[in-house]
Amino acid sequence: MTKSEERKIEGQKTLASGYVTLDDLKKAGNIPPDGILEARAVPIIDDIEEIPCTPCRDVCPTGAIIMPSMNDPPKVKWEACTGCTLCVQACPGLAITLVNMSFGRKVLKRNDIALVSIPYEMIPVPKRGDRVRVYDRGHNYLCDGEVYSVIKSVKFGTIVINVLVPKQYALHAKYLEVIKGE
């Protein structure tokens, strides 16, 4: 079986579940080893199919996103990522989150908290300190989180919310809902 045929079968499995699961991403090599995950920010790209789409690769200032042809699913050179979030801002499919497992340890002196950068299209846009509900790829509730900061990208017209979540949910976190009235 060719690589292309293998990828098409992966895509069919994904369609069967209705969305890309964390297991799909692990099998496709889109989740880094634990050692890298604990040490640095990494983009998690929910794309395992042959889709002709290259903004993440094109915008990355360090060449961390590898896509030999425009139809190849993106792969990440983990050590080259600086955590700038430009790929999250540039992705038209909102398919990328940036997971920073070491943020709590390095910045907040808390080893149980991670920072996840999530693209956001809803109104109102939350602000620092707001509480949000965090959901997984299947829209299942995971946990509450706290907005640490908000990136408003003038270049791409996108909003990226940096949210603090318990580390065990960081790789699953995909969608946010602002908790109103608090």
Q: Judged by CB under 6 A, does residue 93 bind ligand SF4? A: no
Query: Smaller CB distance to ligand SF4: residue 98 or 178?
Result: 98
Q: Judged by CB under 6 A, does residue 84 bind ligand SF4? A: yes
Query: Smaller CB distance to ligand SF4: residue 99 or 113?
Result: 99
Q: Judged by CB under 6 A, does residue 43 bind ligand SF4? A: yes
Phi, psi (5° rounding) for residue 174? -140, -35
Q: Judged by CB under 6 A, does residue 65 bind ligand SF4? A: yes
Instruction: State whether residue 139 is helix, strand or coil.
Output: coil
Piece of the chain touching ligand SF4 by CB under 6 A; list 75-83, 121-129, 154-162, 164-172: 75-83
User: % helix / strand / coil in the chain, to the nearest 5?
Assistant: 25, 30, 45
Could you tell me the smallest distance in angstroms from the CB atom of residue 15 to ligand SF4?
26
Question: Distances from the Cα of 118 to the Cαs of 13, 108, 149, 166, in angstroms?
Answer: 25, 20, 11, 15
Exactly one of 28, 44, 81, 142 binds ligand SF4 (CB under 6 A); which one?
Answer: 81
Q: Using alpha carbons, select from 93, 97, 92 the residue that is nearest to residue 76.
A: 97
Piece of the chain touching ligand SF4 by CB under 6 A; list 56-64, 66-74, 143-151, 154-162: 56-64
Could you tell me the smallest distance in angstroms from the CB atom of residue 12 to ligand SF4?
28
Q: Judged by CB under 6 A, does residue 60 bind ligand SF4? A: yes
Query: Smaller CB distance to ligand SF4: residue 62 or 168?
Result: 62
The helices-and-strands tally (H runs, E runs) of the chain is: 7, 9
Q: Using alpha carbons, select from 15, 38, 25, 10 the residue that is nearest to residue 75.
A: 25
Alpha-carbon distance of 99 to 151, in angstroms, equals 15
Exactly one of 4, 12, 17, 82 binds ligand SF4 (CB under 6 A); which one?
Answer: 82
Could you tell me the smallest distance in angstroms from the CB atom of residue 37 to ligand SF4?
14
Question: Distances from the Cα of 41 to the Cαs of 35, 64, 80, 90, 98, in angstroms?
Answer: 12, 12, 10, 17, 7
Binding site for ligand SF4 (CB under 6 A): 43, 59-60, 62, 64-65, 81-87, 98
